[in-house]
Structure 1
């Protein structure tokens, strides 16, 4: 496509995340416009399309991708639907931004990886938005500078006020801790080689049958240890923290988001209520970076290998969660396209 023309995007999935991306592309992002929305719920897709100038509603991703006014695809449908949409987009050599997970399991992620390799060039960026968060970017720069020495340990907390009624215990790993998996790999530049999940006594706020919170331990290829506290029903707000413990110092992020007020003998601030508000700026940077790179004919950011690696770590994590033991991560050899 011409770098002078706005990128014409089909958004697949019009739920909470998809609708937010349509809003973002329509009102925040420069150099792109939404020309198609896709959802199996025809009325929901039509309602969103009617509110977006020059946009057509579809119920089938393949039909939308075949439209003459579609240059690229943003996939925000549920994870089990990602593989089919990704393979369709790759068969048409269309650029893709795919929300995590790439696919729900390592086997399907490998099929996507193989399809992209056949093209001989990268086409897919995976939506691990924390890589675009201002605080995480500062942490990454500090670690990469090397002044603090090697990172020996990484402590992380991931707390949600509550999870939807349909949220399962496995999803604590696959839908929540997956972010820490990618952040760990990105910050340290190391693959995760083993996972161990520990379960303390569950909170009284946890749904029946769910052990929440949980404590997840990663081992990396270079010998770092990484722990993650995942608390799906903390009750008070949405918080994400990370602290890198290095040879010559430590770095911590996530303690405050917004003003700290001291008045009337008290001090305090506000805890964000959900992930969309907490990472709104990161989503904006992520999508803008994708649009800019796509218009240049490039692919930047986390890719199919990162999505596959996360899926493989998730599988090890869920197995550890079920069986209460340390589980090694199985990865294929990294292809040359992703080195």
Structure 2
């Protein structure tokens, strides 16, 4: 086991348990060395008898456990900053689920701490960059055959929202994926946000502004619109269409089986993100493990995590006051590459 990358997984909830399974059964070259969760029974259940993995209630104890070479953070967002800084202090490479840090001030502290190290340690979990369809769309846009991108039309629908979901979370939790995907696909920063609120769906919990229509402006004049509807009731759908000067390209419609019988047709719709993006999560973690074993850090950076937090905060301001909100980013440290590369 000594030649395997020993990973400490922080958080054993829905996402953390799925990553524990993935590291143990899907991704080669790694093993689960430690798990941290305040609920040790949940951590033990997530481990499911994996040998050689220790269980801790404290994240720092898991980072210091024998055999830990890297960290996968899947704990709730408010715990991410402390965990990232602790990993940096120990020189441990990190894969951190989004949001990197929910508030932009904390996200900037993470960026500044990593910049002081002079080397990247963190990869942020924007897994859509590892989805095969998103990858093909990115290659198409970068190739320039369709001309300059003018607009992105995006759809983000969930069956239902958790009990704790708020109107702001439609933007800073759900649409945060579209924020990163738009920056990556277009290779541009987002500069302003407007949020329109149709009458809430009858299926939305009382007081939740669902659905929402979010409009982003970019630094080079493209527009990105996102329909986010987290209580649509029928399934999980993520779609994106790029409209360019010489053509368009659409993704997100080719994943389901179609059953035809008795004079009709029925198409299965995924029920959640772990089904729709299962392959993307596998690719993401596999790429992280492979790069980490080679002493490299690739994928979305702490700067990408910071930018997503700033844009999401602007979106929440636009939601709250009904006005267009501008995005103000801090100067980008030289450690980080140009957005989209």
Q: Same fold (TM over 0.5)?
A: yes
CA distance in 2, matches of 1:159, 1:42: 33
Counterpart residue number, 1:58: 56
Which of 74, 93, 96 is matched with 1:95 structurally? 93
Matched, 1:69 2:36: no
Pick one of 174, 177, 196 that aligns with 1:176: 174
Say which of 20, 45, 51 aligns to 2:18. 20
- Structure-2 separation of matches of 1:187 and 1:194: 17
Contact 2:150 2:245 in 1 (8 A): yes
Does 2:258 align with 1:252? no
- Are 2:165 and 1:188 aligned? no
Q: Equivalences for 1:168-317 in 2 at 5 Å? A: 168-317=166-315
Query: Which residue number in structure 2 is paired with residue 162 of structure 1?
Result: 160
2-structure distance, mates of 1:211, 1:261: 35
Q: CA deviation at 1:268?
A: 2.8
The alignment partner of 1:337 has SS state of coil
**Segment of structure 1 superposing worse, 63-72 or 190-199:** 63-72
CA-based RMSD of the aligned residues comes to 1.2
1:137 CA drift (Å): 0.6
Aligned counterpart, 1:143: 141
SS in 1 for 2:220: coil
- Whole-angstrom CA distance in 2 between matches of 1:46 and 1:57: 7
Any idea what SS the aligned residue of 1:169 has?
coil
Task: Give the length in aligned residue pairs.
Answer: 337
Q: Which runs of 4+ in 1 moved over 4 A?
A: none
Task: Show the counterpart of 1:110.
Answer: 108
Shift of 1:64: 1.3
Q: Give me the TM-score of the superposition, normalised by structure 2.
A: 0.97
**Contact kept? 1:205, 1:234, Cα under 8 Å:** yes
Structure 1 residues 2-24: Cα deviation after superposition (integer angstroms, max 9, x where no partner): 9x811000000000000000000
TM-score, scaled relative to structure 1: 0.97
- Equivalent-residue separation in structure 2 for 1:251 and 1:93 (angstroms): 42
Where does residue 122 of structure 2 map in the other structure? 124
Partner Cα separation in structure 2 for residue 299 and residue 327 of structure 1: 33
